[in-house]
């Protein structure tokens, strides 16, 4: 199987009170196409920071980031935007839907920025919503839906551009355990359909849903193991 | 894409209806004020112009009499009034009339008199003049005839009525051949003048005309101090005025003893003054448009801060710096554009209401309206630029961490 991405000694520090505070201290790992990887670590260990770098929402202080045949670590903002737009789908802990838009419009949002015709946007958005089982909630606003439904809308939004990589940052963190299980089941199905997924969590039980667990602690990868079923 | 950007902007504005309307208010008031003030200024200018033109735009007035403000005159410090200059003689009037570029001249004596037909009396202005008067002041005869040179020579007891006086004294009846007494002296009505359109503040039809010689018999001979002249259409009025002034200076010896006024010069001066006033008013009003723009900027900055997370989300799903810049610029343009449109409607309506209240015509200038609207858009663009840039340059990771 082909390597989708590889991090090589990635570091990230934030300036704080005139000093550079290191958050990621040399992260190296690679992910194969079609893998379902979970990154597990305690709060404050740098998981979100890592996800922002993986998702081209931020750039590392040092190190190299190979994605397919591109080197992303030192791209301009414009180039990073293109990678985000075409290669990555995001799912966040707090759903991050736009409250003024209904379900289809939220799902169609990434397609607006791909300059696709409106009919095509909506056709694809409806299709993605059907995939997550929400074809009957097309015109619902986020505040008219349960947390589990909102997260499924967010997953549909991540799927709608058919990206090579889906990044999820604590996708079950704001959900009760039953709803959380449903969302995890959905991720598992997506993985079985061939999507590459990197899911971040602080919860060992959640991490077990992946095929492989990377443990992060204090800005370093401390373990990398396959999940045995 | 631009269609969807517009839709997004309208939605964002709609989501904050009250705030958006309050924000637009500055632009609405600014645009409305510019349009209303300029329209009223234009209206005033047109009514002044048409009033003066109704007097005859080739009209030149010569007045003999002490004029301390005459151009080029040495300032006098003496407090005793100087002796008045002698009046003009009929032959001097004729010489003024034969000046190059002048086609007609008529002495004019003006006063008021009591006109009566039986018990029906009327206090009216009365001019004593000659036959050239009608053509100089562009009056047409509706009934009968105007004064003839013979009437003047013989001091005939005849009178020509303005249309206003004719209807006041005779109603609908034809007055030709009837007798009107002027301060008790009976005169034959030989003609009635056609009505001129009335304009704000004056009525050019409420008066009567008699031969100046007859006028002197009734009121006593005070000499000719006013001459109305008509310049040829092709003549350069400034040169004609110079020639008249040369003659008068020659006769009277001092430039302080007469005044030559060309209607066209007054006209151009007045309309220039009025134009300046109009644009000054428009300029002052456009300051309020700029203030409106600052209001837009203020609200857009608040909006950008409030919507930091939205910006982060949009960037995460693929919006570029340009997409975000465009979105917020369009939003501020929509605010100023919608405000501008409402302002145009308000300004036009307001000018009509005020125009009617002041009984002057408000002339809505279409180019000015377009300029005001374009200015509103420009204000939206300029004052939207900073907030939009701030939004566009937000780092997505940082924007997403804001809660
Ligand atoms: N913009 C920032 N400036 C300074 N420190 C930051 C910033 N973002 C995150 N951090 C710090 O980096 C560390 C890791 O944060 P984060 O990646 O959010 O951890 P996690 O997602 O694992 O809880 C935390 O100590 C946090 O305070
Ligand atoms: Mg986190």
Whether B231 and B293 map to the same domain: the answer is no
Residue B182 scores a pLDDT above 60: yes
ipTM of this predicted complex?
Answer: 0.96
- Of chain B, the percentage scoring pLDDT greater than 70 comes to 92
> What is the spatial distance between Cα B248 and Cα B296, in angstroms, rounded to a whole number?
64
Lookup result for tokens 């203020």: B298
The DSSP annotation for B252-319 comes to HS-GGGEEEEEHHHHHHHHHHHHHHHHHHHHHHHHHHHHHHHHHHHHHHHHHHHHTHHHHHHHHHTT-
Model confidence at B200, pLDDT cuts 50, 70, 90, reads low
- In tens, the pLDDT along B123-156 reads 999 999 999 999 998 899 999 999 999 999 999 9
Number of domains in chain B: 2
Whether B279 and B236 map to the same domain: the answer is no
> In the prediction, which pLDDT does B71 show?
55
Model confidence at B342, pLDDT cuts 50, 70, 90, reads very high
Residue B359 scores a pLDDT above 70: no
Whether B249 and B348 map to the same domain: the answer is no
Q: Is residue B326 part of a domain?
A: yes
> What is the spatial distance between Cα B55 and Cα B60, in angstroms, rounded to a whole number?
10
> In the prediction, which pLDDT does B262 show?
87
> In the prediction, which pLDDT does A229 show?
67
Mean pLDDT of chain A: 94
Residue B45 scores a pLDDT above 60: yes
A141 interface with B at CB cutoff 8 Å: no
- The contacts found for B290-294 with CB under 8 angstroms, 24 or more apart, are B290/B30, B290/B379, B291/B26, B291/B30, B292/B24, B292/B25, B292/B26, B292/B27, B292/B28, B292/B29, B292/B30, B292/B336, B292/B339, B292/B376, B292/B379, B293/B26, B293/B27, B293/B336, B293/B379, B293/B380, B293/B382, B293/B383, B294/B26, B294/B383
Inter-axis angle of helices B321-357 and B366-392, to 10 degrees?
150
Q: Is residue B260 part of a domain?
A: no
**Which chain A residues have a beta carbon less than 8 Å from that of B317?**
84-85, 90, 109-110, 113, 157
- Given B222, B253, B284, which residue is the final one in a domain? B253
> In the prediction, which pLDDT does B40 show?
81
Whether B13 and B128 map to the same domain: the answer is no
> In the prediction, which pLDDT does B393 show?
93
Q: Is residue B36 part of a domain?
A: yes
CA distances from B195 to A177, A222, B54, B166, B191 (A): 96, 106, 11, 10, 13
- Of chain B, the percentage scoring pLDDT greater than 90 comes to 52
Q: Any idea of the CA torsion for B365, B367, B371, B372, to the nearest 10 degrees?
A: 20
Whether B181 and B101 map to the same domain: the answer is yes
Whether B155 and B187 map to the same domain: the answer is yes
> In the prediction, which pLDDT does B271 show?
76
Q: What angle do CA B260, B263, B267 make, to 5 degrees?
A: 130
Q: Is residue B73 part of a domain?
A: no
Whether B273 and B244 map to the same domain: the answer is no
- In tens, the pLDDT along A33-49 reads 999 999 999 999 999 99
Whether B39 and B162 map to the same domain: the answer is no
- In tens, the pLDDT along A87-146 reads 999 999 999 999 989 999 999 999 999 989 999 999 999 999 999 999 999 999 999 999
Q: Is residue B66 part of a domain?
A: no
B306 interface with A at CB cutoff 8 Å: no
- In tens, the pLDDT along B12-32 reads 888 888 999 999 998 999 999
Query: Which tokens is A25 given?
Result: 């201290």
**Which chain A residues have a beta carbon less than 8 Å from that of B312?**
96
Q: Is residue B91 part of a domain?
A: yes
Q: Is residue B259 part of a domain?
A: no
Q: What element of type H or E holds B384? A: helix B366-392
Residue B322 scores a pLDDT above 90: yes
Residue B8 scores a pLDDT above 70: yes
> In the prediction, which pLDDT does B39 show?
84
- Residue B397 and residue A92: Cβ atoms within 8 Å? no
Whether B240 and B96 map to the same domain: the answer is yes
In this structure, of A61-70, B79-88, B188-197, B394-403, the range with the lowest mean pLDDT score is B79-88
- Given B253, B286, B321, which residue is the final one in a domain? B253
Among all residues of chain B, which has the CA nearest to that of A116? B1
Whether B281 and B247 map to the same domain: the answer is no
Minimal Cβ distance to B397: which of A57, A92, A98? A57
> In the prediction, which pLDDT does A37 show?
97
Q: Is residue B199 part of a domain?
A: yes
Q: Does residue A93 line the site of ligand 1, with CB under 6 A?
A: no
Count Cβ neighbours within 10 Å for each residue of A17-42 and write b for 16 or more, e otherwise. eeeeeebbeebebebeebbbbbbbbe
Q: What is the pTM of this model?
A: 0.74
Model confidence at B237, pLDDT cuts 50, 70, 90, reads confident
Whether B141 and B244 map to the same domain: the answer is yes
Among all residues of chain A, which has the CA nearest to that of B324? A113
Strand partners, A15: A20
Residue B234 scores a pLDDT above 80: no
| Domain assignments of chain A as residue spans, ordered by start | 3-226
Q: Give the domain extent around B192.
A: 86-253
Residue B70 scores a pLDDT above 70: no
Strand partners, A199: A38, A168
Query: Which tokens is B242 given?
Result: 């110079």
Among all residues of chain B, which has the CA nearest to that of A108? B317
CA nearest neighbour of B320 among A220, A54, A229, A79 = A79
The more confident residue out of B402 and B199 is B402
**Which chain A residues have a beta carbon less than 8 Å from that of B397?**
52, 57-58
> In the prediction, which pLDDT does A121 show?
94
The fold of A3-226 is Rossmann fold (3.40.50)
Q: Does residue A201 line the site of ligand 1, with CB under 6 A?
A: no
A142 interface with B at CB cutoff 8 Å: no
Tell me the average pLDDT across A2-31: 94
The DSSP annotation for A62-84 comes to EEEEEETTEE-TT--HHHHHHHH
């Amino acid at each position: 199987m082909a390597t989708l991405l590889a991090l090589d000694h990635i570091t990230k520090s934030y300036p704080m009170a005139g000093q550079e505070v290191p958050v990621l201290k040399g992260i190296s790992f690679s992910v194969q196409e079609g893998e379902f990887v979970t990154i597990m670590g305690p709060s404050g260990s740098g998981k979100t920071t890592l996800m922002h770098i993986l998702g081209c929402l931020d750039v590392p202080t040092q190190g190299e980031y190979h994605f397919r045949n591109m080197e992303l670590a030192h791209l301009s903002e414009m180039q990073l935007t293109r990678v985000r737009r075409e290669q990555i789908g995001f799912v966040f802990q707090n759903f991050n839907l736009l409250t003024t838009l209904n379900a289809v419009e939220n799902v169609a949002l990434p397609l607006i920025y791909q300059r696709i015709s409106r009919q095509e946007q909506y056709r694809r958005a409806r299709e993605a919503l059907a995939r997550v089982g929400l074809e009957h909630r097309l015109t619902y606003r986020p505040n008219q839906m349960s947390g589990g439904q909102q997260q499924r809308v967010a997953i549909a939004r991540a799927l709608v551009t058919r990206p090579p990589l889906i990044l999820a940052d604590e996708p079950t963190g704001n959900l009760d355990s039953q709803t959380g299980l449903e969302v995890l089941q959905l991720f598992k199905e997506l993985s079985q359909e061939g999507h590459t997924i990197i899911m971040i969590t602080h919860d060992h039980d959640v991490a077990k849903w992946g095929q492989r667990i990377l443990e992060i602690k204090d800005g370093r990868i401390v373990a990398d193991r396959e999940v045995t079923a | 894409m631009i269609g969807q950007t517009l839709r997004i902007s309208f939605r964002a504005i709609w989501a904050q209806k009250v705030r958006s309307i309050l924000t637009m208010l500055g632009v609405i008031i600014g645009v409305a004020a510019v349009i209303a003030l300029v329209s009223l200024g234009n209206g005033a200018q047109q009514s002044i112009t048409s009033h003066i033109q109704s007097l005859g735009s080739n009209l030149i007035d010569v007045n003999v009499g002490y004029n301390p403000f005459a151009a080029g005159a040495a300032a006098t410090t003496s407090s005793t009034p100087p002796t008045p200059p002698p009046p003009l003689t009929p032959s001097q009037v004729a010489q003024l009339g034969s000046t190059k570029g002048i086609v007609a001249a008529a002495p004019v004596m003006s006063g008021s008199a009591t006109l009566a037909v039986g018990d029906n009396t009327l206090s009216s202005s009365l001019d004593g003049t000659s036959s050239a008067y009608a053509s100089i002041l562009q009056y047409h005869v509706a009934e009968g005839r105007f004064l003839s040179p013979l009437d003047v020579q013989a001091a005939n007891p005849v009178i020509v009525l303005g249309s206003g006086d004719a209807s006041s004294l005779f109603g609908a009846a034809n007055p030709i051949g009837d007798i009107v007494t002027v301060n008790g002296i009976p005169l034959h009505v030989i003609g009635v003048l056609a009505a001129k359109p009335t304009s704000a503040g004056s009525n050019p039809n409420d008066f009567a005309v008699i031969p100046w010689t007859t006028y002197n018999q009734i009121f006593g001979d005070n000499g000719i101090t006013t001459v109305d002249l008509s310049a040829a259409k092709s003549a350069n009025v400034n040169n004609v005025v110079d020639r008249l002034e040369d003659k008068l200076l020659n006769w009277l010896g001092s430039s302080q003893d007469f005044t030559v006024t060309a209607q066209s010069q007054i006209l151009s001066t007045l309309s220039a003054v009025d134009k300046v006033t109009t644009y000054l008013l428009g300029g002052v009003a456009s300051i309020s448009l700029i203030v409106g723009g600052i209001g837009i900027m203020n609200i857009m900055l608040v909006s950008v801060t409030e919507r930091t997370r939205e910006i982060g989300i949009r960037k995460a799903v693929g919006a570029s710096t340009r997409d975000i810049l465009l979105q917020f610029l369009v939003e501020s343009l929509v605010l100023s554009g919608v405000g501008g449109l409402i302002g145009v409607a308000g300004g036009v309506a307001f000018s009509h209401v005020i125009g009617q209240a002041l009984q002057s015509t408000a002339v809505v200038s279409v180019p000015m309206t377009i300029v005001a609207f374009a200015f509103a858009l420009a204000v939206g663009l300029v004052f939207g630029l900073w907030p939009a840039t701030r939004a566009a340059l937000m780092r997505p990771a940082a924007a997403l961490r804001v809660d």
